[in-house]
Amino acid sequence: MQLFFRESGQGRPIIILHGLMGSSDNWLPQAKMLSDEYRVFIVDQRNHGQSPHNHTLNYTVLASDLKEFIEQQGLEKPIVLGHSMGGKTAMNFAIAYPDMIGALIVADIAPKYYKVHHDVIVKGLKAIPIDTITTRGEADQVLAEYVKEEDVRQFLLKNLTRKPEGGFSWKINLPVIEKSLEDIGQDLQFEGTYNGPTLFIRGASSNYVRDEDRDRIKKLFPKSTLITMDTGHWVQAEKPKEFVEVVRNFLHAIKQ
């Protein structure tokens, strides 16, 4: 699969993977900051952004997509950074293909099963009359009945795109995402460990990575470090400069 990506900078390659219902657009500020020192690739995973739509969405195929992308670009042991669903993709990839990755960075997700909890969001997105709305404001009014947080709605509505002939369509493959929510919550799909340098970054007010997850993180990723930032789930968006500094400090330390 030919994934859409944005590339900037020069140096050691870093691949950045967004979360569920996100896209490479979400990471443009962080990529710009990192591109002074690294060759940064921000990728749209399948069924998201400008990448192709497909009937399958699970971590086996997402890890395979990443492997194919690295091979297509001819990258040598890139650093892989993923947030939420992208972090699960990155963890699966690191365990499945440990010789293809130089370092792993996981933002606010743990190697464990999560119960389906995006179903209300999907219900809200489906409630938007995509064929008849004329403005994003109309879409926001409908979505507000399901999602109270304005910043979350703004994030979700970035998936709306204007059609050349007028009106809107979805960038995301909403029907496949809806039927794949259970798969997106799954634990890691591959047996084994990743023994390379690994950084976990969690948000202090997020409930995605709990203290009780530390033991399993250390078991699967023996050379891992866990850092807590004063944020919620969107660690990289809430404090982008601080997040990039944490990433940069980690990469400088493992380089020595």
The dihedral built from the CA positions of residue 144, 209, 248 and 71, taken in this order, carries a sign that is negative
* Model pLDDT for residues 84-138, shown as the tens digit of each residue: 999 999 999 999 999 999 999 999 999 999 999 899 999 999 999 999 999 999 9
Among residues 161, 179, 197, the one where a domain terminates is 179
Give me the domain span that covers residue 215: 5-113+187-255
User: What average pLDDT does the segment 173-181 reach?
Assistant: 97
Q: Which residues, other chains included, contact 236 with Cβ-Cβ below 8 Å and sequence gap of 6+?
A: 27, 30, 83, 107, 243, 244
pTM, to two decimals: 0.96
Statement to judge: residues 9 and 100 lie in one domain:
yes
Statement to judge: residues 25 and 95 lie in one domain:
yes
Among residues 157, 179, 201, the one where a domain terminates is 179
Number of compact structural domains in the chain:
2
Among residues 131, 161, 179, the one where a domain terminates is 179
Q: Kindly report the CATH number assigned to the domain that includes residue 210.
A: 3.40.50.1820
The residues assigned a catalytic role are 84, 233
Please report how many Cα atoms fall inside a 13 Å half-sphere around the Cα of residue 73, on the Cβ side. 26
Statement to judge: residues 143 and 245 lie in one domain:
no
The span from the CA of 213 to the CA of 131, in Å, is 43
* Model pLDDT for residues 49-82, shown as the tens digit of each residue: 999 999 999 999 999 999 999 999 999 999 999 9
Statement to judge: residues 37 and 89 lie in one domain:
yes
The span from the CA of 79 to the CA of 116, in Å, is 29
Find, among 78, 73, 83, the residue nearest to 100 by Cα: 78
Statement to judge: residues 101 and 145 lie in one domain:
no
Statement to judge: residues 201 and 82 lie in one domain:
yes
Statement to judge: residues 24 and 101 lie in one domain:
yes
